[in-house]
Structure 1
Amino acid sequence: MNDSVTKPATKTRSKVKTQVQRPRLYKVILVNDDYTPREFVVMILKAEFRMTEDEAYKVMITAHRRGVCVVAVFTRDVAETKATRATDAGRAKGHPLLFTTEPEE
């Protein structure tokens, strides 16, 4: 009689880690114009981007002095939605206010 014990064959499983990439981010940019009142721009920044009065004023002044200013950075869908809503709010009041988006580097 054979006293050796046989072990059942086992399969080893290797764990597979899936790497989830972060979504690409997009900048919302305020483009300066010479016609939209400063107070209106500040109001839009506060309403759409939830900025304080001081933050909105600083963004507006930066765009006024440099021609453009990055307002915020979001995922693509959020950035495009906010830029479109802010631009449309200006157009609804007859202002040429413009917000654009571009990929962050």
Structure 2
Amino acid sequence: MSNNTAENQPLIETAQDIQEPKLYKVIMHNDDVTTMEFVVQVLVDVFHKSIEDASEIMMKIHTQGKEICGIYPREIAEFRIYKTLHLAKNAHFPLLCTMEENA
């Protein structure tokens, strides 16, 4: 029996073996019901934005119809969307938050 089998070889990862996870844009959409204050609060609490950055993003959502809130790996993007929609539902707001693959 030879000791040079694949079972005995150490696992060596090369740069080709390691792939960065796909990233996804989390997008918040404007509506006529959700308050600007609520959107800013969600951006601060869920997306960890400063008040200044959150206010700037909120204004873009309001004037342009939607804006990217952040770019994350899939699981993190899904969690932030879930948390945003949960908070909006509890506050009786129809806030829409979606994600799309970052090209």
- Runs of 4+ more than 4 Å apart: none
Q: Who is 2:14 aligned against?
A: 17
Q: Who is 2:88 aligned against?
A: 90
Counterpart-to-counterpart distance in 2, 1:91 and 1:44: 12
User: What SS class does the counterpart of residue 86 from structure 2 fall into?
Assistant: helix
Query: Which has more radius of gyration?
Result: 1
Q: Deviations over 1:59-78 (max 9, x none)?
A: 11001111110010000000
**Letter paired with 1:47:** D
How many equivalent residue pairs? Answer: 92
Q: Which runs of 5+ in 1 are unaligned?
A: 1-10
User: Residue 76 of structure 2 is aligned with which of 75, 78, 82?
Assistant: 78
TM-score with structure 2 setting the length: 0.83
**Letter paired with 1:50:** H
User: What SS class does the counterpart of residue 101 from structure 1 fall into?
Assistant: strand
Q: Which runs of 5+ in 2 are unaligned?
A: 5-11
Distance 1:16 1:36, change over 3 A: closer
TM-score with structure 1 setting the length: 0.82
User: What SS class does the counterpart of residue 39 from structure 1 fall into?
Assistant: helix
Across the aligned residues of Structure 1 and Structure 2, the Cα RMSD in angstroms comes to: 1.7
